[in-house]
Amino acid sequence: MTPAMRLPPHRRTAWAGACLAVALAWSSCAGGGGTPDLEPAIAETFEAAGGRLELTLDRSSLTTAESAVLRLAVVADEGAAVAFPDSEAGFGEFAVVRDEEVSERLLDGGRVERVREYVLQPFLPGEYELPPLTVTLNDSDSISSQALTIPVESVLPDSETADLLDIAEPLDMPAPWWWWALGALLLAVAAGGAWWWWKRRKEKLSAPRVVPPHEIALTALDALLAEGLLAGGAVELFYLRLSDIVRHYIEDQFSLRAPEQTTEEFLAAMSRGPHIRRDHQTLLRDFLQRADMVKFAKFVPAAEETGGAVEAARLFIEQSVPTAVLSAEPGSG
């Protein structure tokens, strides 16, 4: 008894099938190393002065799920230039899914056989026409085949007799617990971020704006002009108030104790520090000395001089604002 016969019946069947598969594979390899040449379903030959065209098709009919192999063999002189038909746009209603040169071999009499294969693929069922195919020789002679009709059947059953199944009810797929946990975590993070943003915005909107010294001084200067002290003849009081506005601005802007110092003390301290520019120091010195003449020497300036003093005070306040203060204001460039 051989080892195979001692196996159970179902194992003997599997063993026999494996042996058959190995034998078939060996026989196919031994027969030429590729797919054996089968008898074509369609074979046509077309002669011309320059050579011969042999057309073969492995199927005379096919289904929408199958493809057909079209083989064109051209026999011509060895030096002839052979141009096969272009398959980029397909052949009629067939799409060409593969186009390759298969072989080229020398025949008796100095002639050469050149073979090219095309794989044809239909899409819909119906009667397909393979149009005439033309092979050009030496850019002048040509050989053309005749049109062929190939039926293509559908692989689907007849819609009138097929038993169609009803659409099944949707399946209920419960979400795993960690989906709910992740969603709750993301929702909590989003709520916390929204609350933090709202709180910061509320604090920013509710915080009082700090008015810079130059705005305070310019507002006070406009208010002084609106009181009409000069029209009422109170020139000394006008200059006293004007000088106080400028001195308080200097103290608030540059931290110099201008209100408590005399003009000489303030001018000496101003010239020693880097706070006020040289041209502003000259402008400020002239302004304070003129104001002291009105306050202490009872000097009565003309209307033009009074207007000049006001413009000098305004110019000094506007030009002496530090750049950092201007850039921090809303709307500054």
Tens digit of pLDDT for each residue in 195-234? 999 888 877 776 677 888 889 989 998 998 888 887 888 8
DSSP state of 29: H
pLDDT at 207: 65
Residues paired with 57 in a beta bridge = 42, 70
Kindly state whether residues 137 and 217 are assigned to the same domain.
no
Handedness of CA 203, 204, 205, 209 (dihedral sign): positive
Q: Does residue 225 fall inside a structural domain?
A: yes
Print pLDDT tens along the chain (333 aa).
444 445 455 454 444 454 444 444 444 444 444 444 568 889 999 998 879 999 999 999 999 899 999 999 999 998 889 999 999 999 999 999 999 998 999 988 889 999 999 999 998 999 999 999 999 998 888 999 999 999 999 887 765 545 656 777 777 777 788 888 888 999 999 999 999 998 888 777 766 778 888 899 899 989 988 888 878 888 888 888 888 898 888 888 877 776 667 777 777 777 776 667 877 777 778 777 777 787 776 777 777 777 888 888 888 888 888 766 555 555 544
Q: Does residue 140 fall inside a structural domain?
A: yes
Strands 68-77 and 111-121: antiparallel
Domain membership of residue 297 as a residue range: 213-328
Residues paired with 75 in a beta bridge = 52, 113
Kindly state whether residues 64 and 137 are assigned to the same domain.
yes
Q: Does residue 245 fall inside a structural domain?
A: yes
pLDDT at 99: 93
- Domain termination residue (choose one: 151, 186, 205): 151
Find out whether 152 and 128 touch, Cβ atoms under 8 Å: yes
- Domain termination residue (choose one: 132, 151, 170): 151
Kindly state whether residues 239 and 321 are assigned to the same domain.
yes
- Domain termination residue (choose one: 124, 151, 178): 151
pLDDT at 5: 45
Q: Does residue 56 fall inside a structural domain?
A: yes
Kindly state whether residues 223 and 318 are assigned to the same domain.
yes
Q: Does residue 8 fall inside a structural domain?
A: no
Find out whether 55 and 145 touch, Cβ atoms under 8 Å: yes
Q: How many domains does the chain have?
A: 2
- CATH number for the domain harbouring residue 91: 2.60.40.10
Q: Does residue 217 fall inside a structural domain?
A: yes
Q: Does residue 91 fall inside a structural domain?
A: yes
Cα 235 to chain centroid, rounded: 72
The answer for residues whose C-beta is within 8 angstroms of residue 93's C-beta and 6 or more apart is 122, 123, 126, 128, 129
Q: Does residue 76 fall inside a structural domain?
A: yes
pLDDT at 22: 43
130 φ, ψ to 5°? -85, 110
This prediction's pTM: 0.40
